[in-house]
Structure 1
Amino acid sequence: MANTAPASYKELLRVAEVTDIEEVFEQIPDDHRFKGEWKVPKALKSEAALSKHLTSILRKNISAADHISFLGAGCWQHYVPAICDEMVTRTEFSTNVWGTPSSDHGRNQVWFEFSSQLGELVGMEFVGLPLYSYGTAAGHALRMAARINGRNRVVLPASLDPERAKVIETYCGYKELNGHLEITYVKFDPSTGRLDLADLKSALGSDVAAVYFENPNYFGALESEAAEISRLAHEVGGEVVVGVDPISLGIVAAPSQYGADIIVGTTQTLGVHMNAGGGVGGFIATRDEEKYAREYPTLQVSLTATTEPGEMAFGLTLFHQSSYGSREEGKDWTGNSVYLWAVANATYMSLMGPQGFIDVGNSIIARANYAAKQVGSV
């Protein structure tokens, strides 16, 4: 292995100012140290042997290609058109998803198209580049809302996906941390799966920064009183943050139509494979108003005129307020993200078009009803 040659090893110890490697591990408690012998199998003699060995292990798995997965809840098995895979594997995208302006071989344009198309789908004008997941998008959005109105409590449905709830709780932080947000969970009606409006009313107050709910929710139910939920939140001066699966928006009203101020959701359903959980991504969308734009922690791509008459160019905007531009002074930490999936998302949305989203939405409803009847007949 690299740096295990005697001369290199000796030089590393010298630079680290230690005489023995054990000094590096002194901080690890003795009862946490492994003291046995590693039972590592002997090295395989060739790449062909390694490939055969790994294939034999992978054959033990049962994949979603052989058995349909109904798990959903953040990672859905939808068909991915071949063109999506073709686009994300093109070298101008797969090797240049980040870098200096000189590395842009169409990257900025496809990111711009991602934001534009998704904005049209959810009914908002301002869409940031994608984040790690649905949960991280929701967490950032709630923190955005708190910065906008200076409040420190958020209201969430108890019906939330447990994993997404944990992510949001992490973003709200511990009490000892700056920017900590208190969370109030609101009950749901067990007979319908929908939010309990009476409990929501009792949870609202002048300290509420935002009310968050999802449509459809974790149980797959549509919040038929979504407009009333938004009205109640606005009545106390809170922001309305709505989570949505964009693939539903061909047949379900966009959250912007029933009072959402900030819309978040998944991007995985837009042309990205499940990838054993690695295909997830999230987005944040708002109206094109300065109070929202100034609180985005994400990167944004915009279009502007150049010094050449009639020429337009793509570029990053509001870069300074991100953690990329200002590090710990940025609005929030976003770290690396899933910008390559934005290429697949933009490809999928352009391929589907408005009618395609209507068709896939109707197909999902028909298949879901059929599956429910089949299960109910057992």
Structure 2
Amino acid sequence: MRYLPLTSADRSEMLSVIGASSIDDLFADVPEAARLSGPVSGLPSHASELAVERHMTALARQNVVAGEVPFFLGCGAYRHHVPASVDHLIQRGEFLTAYTPYQPEIAQGTLQMLFEFQTQVARLLGTDVANASMYDGSTACWEAIGMARRITKRGKAILSSGLHPHYVSVARTMAKYTGDALETALPDLSAETDLDRLIAAIDDDTSCVVVQYPDILGRTADLTPLAEAAQAKKALLIAVVTEPVALGAIRSPGEMGADIVVGEGQSIGVGLQFGGPYVGLMGCKEKYIRQMPGRFCGETVDANGKRGFVLTLSTREQHIRREKATSNICTNSGLCALAFSIHMTLLGEKGLRGLAGINHAAAVAAADRLAAVPGVRLINESFFNEFTLDLGQEARPIVRALADRGILAGVSLGRLYPGADALANGLVVAVTETATEEDVERLASALEEILA
């Protein structure tokens, strides 16, 4: 297709039709502080290919490679070892260039992969069914809230204080256009979760309760009483899992009665990649399947009795009439879903449980060592591979001082909750199988020096 540029008259006519006075009006929803007022600073207006390559390489060298330093960052994005075979297989041409199967009968390989992915996700989350992936964890969380609204015909969602603030932010952005009321609160720097608050807040207007498991501070809790309380009021329990490896060691949300379970699948098969692309997971009870967004692949037989795969449900607006769509999701991050499925297949159930055990053991050892640092308090009574420390003073400058020493110590709660003084001393530390005993000792020793 040739590129046909628009003339000034063309642009004026298009703006007139949609009722905009200028192109700038199209960006009205983007905060002014986030918009560029001119060219990107530090880049020349033009340069040769060789010069551009050198310049970009110099910029890239300013990054810190996760695998080259002690790395304890988490809070929804985790560094795990991804076998080389995962990257090798997803780069096969028939997978790498595949797109949405609008003609599913000729995309049997893609459909089979998605069918296997759905099976793995449903078993992992403890749900009856799972869809063929979502964009990422945060948007999957919002899609679940919208799904609850359609099912219950109610418009109030109660969000746990332990839900990742970025997920809350995405939900708030979307709720502006649907009219959903979102009730939330800041977490306390303590071992107690807010399940009692959530149970007390459920009323006849509640569509759903959204809880993260493990939560943003790494705390775990039995969700069964919350599920029962929500369902007694004909509301739904939505559980959010940002670290799916945890489900190799702890009970799945579906087992505890969650109606919808969503999550971020990045931990399995997908690298950190500067924050994306990632892959969203979604499963639910079978009775709600027709309200799931995205797509659902199924297994059948053809006229000759041969096994085949079909696109059983296509509820997004790219497949059906817009007014009948449950979502306008425009990508299911299919290549990342494939990476997830390959890695999960390589692990198997025994391998996943083994990996989870290694993560938990490493985190327990690290928590014990760091809690022994004078002035540091471990707030968690239970956790998987992520826990929160109270450093006794503001965490952000300490994190910066550790970074200057080549140690990425974790995520300060002051960064996640700017202006929340009660959380400023908190540091969330994630310890996966990639963190060595030497890494933990370097962190602990450096922390002792800084806090002395």
TM-score by length of 1: 0.85
Contact 1:155 1:186 in 2 (8 A): no
Gaps of 5+ in 2: 14-19, 26-34, 374-447
Q: How does 1:1-378 map to 2 (within 5 A)?
A: 12=7, 28=24, 41=44, 43-46=46-49, 48-99=50-101, 100-101=103-104, 104=107, 106-171=109-174, 173-174=175-176, 177=177, 179-185=178-184, 190-197=189-196, 199-223=197-221, 225-244=222-241, 245-289=243-287, 292-308=288-304, 310-319=305-314, 321-329=315-323, 330-376=325-371, 377=373, 378=448
| Whole-Å separation in 2 of the counterparts to 1:243 and 1:202 | 20
- Paired residue type of 1:326: I
Cα displacement (A) at 1:42: 6.7
Q: Supply the distance in 2 between the matched residues of 1:355 and 1:65 (Cα, whole angstroms).
A: 26
| Change in 2 beyond 3 A, CA 1:102/1:92 | farther
**Hey, what's the Cα distance between the residues in 1 that align with 2:54 and 2:331?**
34
- Give the direction of change, closer, same or farther, for the CA distance of 1:311–1:229 in structure 2 (3 Å limit): same
Kindly indicate whether the alpha-carbon contact (under 8 Å) linking 1:96 and 1:105 is maintained by their aligned counterparts in 2: no
Q: 1:273 to 1:148 in 2, by over 3 A?
A: same
Seen in structure 2, the aligned counterparts of structure 1 residues 45 and 348 have a Cα distance that, compared at 3 Å, is same
Cα 1:36–1:280 change in 2 (3 A) is closer
State how far apart, in whole Å, the 2-side matches of 1:36 and 1:250 are.
48
1:109 aligned partner, one-letter code: Q
SS class of match (1:283)? strand
Runs of 4+ in 1 over 6 A off after TM superposition: 32-39
Task: Give the letter for the 2:115 counterpart.
Answer: F
Question: What code does the residue aligned with 1:300 have?
Answer: F
- Contact 2:149-2:155 within 8 A present in 1 as well: yes
CA RMSD of the aligned region, Å? 2.9
Q: Deviations over 1:221-261 (max 9, x none)?
A: 101x3111111111211111111232111110111111111
1:38 Cα deviation after fit? 9.3
- 1:285-334 per-residue CA deviation (whole Å, 9 max, x = no partner) reads 01222xx11101111111112111x2121121222x32222353111221
Instruction: Give the aligned length.
Output: 355
Read off the aligned partner of 2:331 and give its amino acid letter. N
Aligned-partner Cα distance in 2 for 1:332–1:156:
21
TM-score norm. by structure 2 comes to 0.72
Aligned-partner Cα distance in 1 for 2:169–2:81: 29
Assess, with a 3 A threshold, how the Cα gap between structure 1 residues 39 and 191 changes in structure 2: closer, same or farther.
closer
Q: What is the CA deviation profile of residues 77-129 of structure 1, one whole-angstrom value per residue up to 9, with x for unaligned ones? A: 11111111112111101101325447626211111111011112222231112
Unaligned runs of 5+ in 1: 19-23
- Distance in 2 between residues matched to 1:26 and 1:278, nearest whole Å: 32
Q: Does the 8 Å CA contact 2:199/2:226 hold for their aligned counterparts?
A: no
Q: CA deviation at 1:220?
A: 0.6
The one-letter amino acid paired with 1:371 is: A
Shift of 1:39: 8.4
Following superposition, the deviation at residue 339 of structure 1 comes to 1.0
Change (3 A) 1:25 1:157: closer
Conserved in 2, the CA contact under 8 Å of 1:88 and 1:94? yes
Query: Do the aligned partners of residues 187 and 92 (structure 1) sit closer, same or farther apart at CA in structure 2, a change above 3 Å counting?
Result: same
Percent same amino acid at aligned positions?
26
How far off is 1:282 after superposition?
Answer: 1.1
For the 8 Å contact 1:186–1:195, the answer to whether it is kept is no
User: Which region of structure 1 is more displaced relative to structure 2, 87-96 or 118-127?
Assistant: 118-127
